[in-house]
Amino acid sequence: MIIDPTAFQQYRHTANNKTTLPRLVLGTVVVVLFWLGTTAAVLFGGTYAFAVWQASSGTAPPGVVQDFMASPAGILAALASFAGIWLGLWAAMRWIHREKLTVLIGVSRRISWSGFLKGLAAVLITSLLSEILLYGLQPDIARGAIGLSSWLLFLIPIAALTFLQTSSEEMLFRGYLLRGLASRFQNPFIWALLPGLLFTSLHWSPGSSPAINACVLASIAAFALLLTLLVYATGNLGAGFGAHLGNNLTGFLLISHQQSYNSFALFNAKPLEAAGWTTLDAALIAAIGIVSSLLTVLLLLHPRSPLKVEPDMARASSVR
């Protein structure tokens, strides 16, 4: 399976002469500041409203912040905070690089919706397979607390906010950083590895054991490689948008493996941060995650796959 790099070469060359390494560092700092600012506003504003509501109902437990973040409103607020990344990217592209935000999306400056749908479908398929394998490893799955009518009511808002979260991460890690570094460096160990490592490191969980953290990071690294390959094959973030959305929606809405994000899931599996996981369990979980990503690569990039994504080379000569 050979990937034609033509679309990616066109994508990396859309960057202008203001896409220098110091400006990339400065732009990244701007994005992080916007993200932290939005997160702080959501956290403090939401916690205050939550505390007022609890006080009016006669209950005011000491752990208000923790209770708010674990509540359905807290999860919605946490997802909404990723709007800060979009705002930061807009500011960085406009004032530091003097480019339009849309150049990060792809060669055509438009989301490839066919790639989006194929990425979404492929990950939903492989996520189902991985959940079957995880069930064989740990069959302790319980029905979630949310009722079916409430789940249907929140389906569209959760999907929309999850898209906000996942698309912002793709725009930052596979768009802004990857494209910017690729425009300055030919070595993929720089433009592919550095954003992938940064993205992976953000998924470290202080509440999990070292073995579980290692397995999660290995799975995330494999998924980050998949998302990078999609950009390399298509020169567009559309397929990555869909793949990332499918992955997160599975955990938010269908089967949750995190206790802090299980309010809207129909089913809850044993949380990864829970005690009792062995080193062998962690190794098997990592293997399942890696195999799932490899199967997704085959579904999206194999020449004979009905879900094979196509390169984005439309209007390539007019995007500089």
Our CA dihedral for 81, 204, 202, 293, rounded to 10 degrees, sits at -100
Is residue 314 scored above 90 in pLDDT? no
| Helical packing angle, 113-137 and 279-301, nearest 10° | 150
pLDDT digits (tens, 9 = 90+) for 219-272: 999 999 999 999 999 999 999 999 999 999 999 999 998 887 888 999 999 988
Is residue 6 scored above 90 in pLDDT? yes
pLDDT at 239: 97
Is residue 319 scored above 70 in pLDDT? no
Is residue 316 scored above 50 in pLDDT? no
Average pLDDT over residues 207-225: 92
DSSP tag of 187: -
pLDDT digits (tens, 9 = 90+) for 134-189: 988 888 899 988 999 999 999 999 999 999 999 999 999 999 999 999 999 999 99
DSSP string for residues in 56-90: HTT---S-HHHHHHHSHHHHHHHHHTTHHHHHHHH
Mean pLDDT across the chain: 90
pLDDT digits (tens, 9 = 90+) for 127-138: 999 999 998 888
pLDDT at 76: 87
Is residue 120 scored above 80 in pLDDT? yes
Give 54 or 30, the one with higher predicted confidence: 30
Give the residue extent of every domain in the chain. Answer: 6-16+99-318
Average pLDDT over residues 63-75: 70
pLDDT at 54: 62
pLDDT at 244: 98
Share of the chain above pLDDT 70, in %: 91
pLDDT at 156: 93
Is residue 206 scored above 90 in pLDDT? no
Q: Which amino acid is at 294?
A: L
Share of the chain above pLDDT 90, in %: 73
Structure tokens at 296: 């997704």
Is residue 216 scored above 70 in pLDDT? yes
Confidence of residue 209 (pLDDT cuts 50, 70, 90): confident
Give 27 or 137, the one with higher predicted confidence: 27
25 Cβ neighbours under 8 A, 6+ residues apart = none
Average pLDDT over residues 42-48: 78
pLDDT at 74: 80
Average pLDDT over residues 297-305: 96
pLDDT at 65: 62
211 Cβ neighbours under 8 A, 6+ residues apart = 277, 278, 279, 281, 282, 283
